[in-house]
Amino acid sequence: MSRSMSSGTNSRGMAATATAGAAGKDTAVAVTSRSPWLPCLLAWFLPGAGHLLLRRTLPGLVLMAVVLTTFGVGLALDGTVYAMDPDQPLSYLSTAANVGLGPLDLWARSLSYGGLRYRIPDSRSGAVERERILQVMRARYSAPTHSYGRTFLLTAGLMNLLLVLDVYDYCIGRKPYRPQCAPAEPESAA
Amino acid sequence: MSHFLIMGLHSLLVAVFFAFLTREGLRARLKVGMYLFAGMMIGALLLAWLMYPYPIQGGA
């Protein structure tokens, strides 16, 4: 991968890099020197906030609305978040997807389990505690829309993980950066 | 809320999400969003039609 660049500094103190195409025309502006930690952390903390920090206002607001709506519908449909269950190894992946939602996961988790629980004891070492947790879960399981709600909550978590990765790509300059959602440049005829 | 409506809502949210995540500009976003929405709805209906002959487990 080759990059031909001319660098400068914009008003926010970020070094902006213009990528030059083969024909010598600048087609995109990429932020390359911004540390991705704060935007990524913000994106994880509140869906869409990372994009807003990068001044991608319209996509940030729309993505925030979409993820929060997905999360809200998931809760309204009596969905539950996953907890790591040694008896079900795939639950580890599902729990990671739910945790991708950031602090909102704490709210959903307290509704699902009556507390912040990330792991369900296995049936051999913690049978009593396991049964207590499962009883709390069964109250929500009885709702006919429970599995739909669970899917919505999983989807919201995965969406937010993608948003974090997207913000990371913008910060390191892997993705063309167009502040304020400027319309895409028309593709030039080859 | 009916099952079909829930499926449609899920498809719509996912379509809008990926349209804004992967494309710039209204026209490109509309195109990708509509393709995704239509693809998910048609795919789900097709899958449901294919599964129709199979009995529901535990059903009467």
Report pTM.
Answer: 0.78
Q: What confidence tens digit (pLDDT) does each residue in A75-91 have?
A: 999 888 888 888 788 98
Give the DSSP per-residue string, B1-60: --HHHHHHHHHHHHHHHHHHHH--SHHHHHHHHHHHHHHHHHHHHHHHHHHTTSPPTT--
Question: How many Cβ contacts (< 8 angstroms) between chains A and B?
Answer: 44
Task: Kindly report the nearest CA distance between residue A166 and chain B, in angstroms.
Answer: 8
Residues facing A8 on adjacent strands? A16
Enumerate residue ranges in chain A where pLDDT < 70.
1-33, 177-190
Cβ-based contacts of A79 with chain B (< 8 Å): none
Cα A54 to chain center, whole Å? 16
Q: What confidence tens digit (pLDDT) does each residue in B4-58 have?
A: 999 999 999 999 999 999 999 999 999 999 999 999 999 999 999 998 888 777 6
Helix (H) or strand (E) holding A65: helix A57-76
Rounded to the nearest integer, the mean pLDDT of chain A is 78
Tell me which amino acid residue A92 is.
Y
**Predicted pLDDT of residue B5:** 93
Q: Are A73 and A65 in contact (CB under 8 A)?
A: no
Check CB contact under 8 Å for A184 and B20: no
Tell me which amino acid residue A82 is.
Y
| Burial class for A118, CB neighbours closer than 10 Å (0-12, 13-18, 19+) | middle
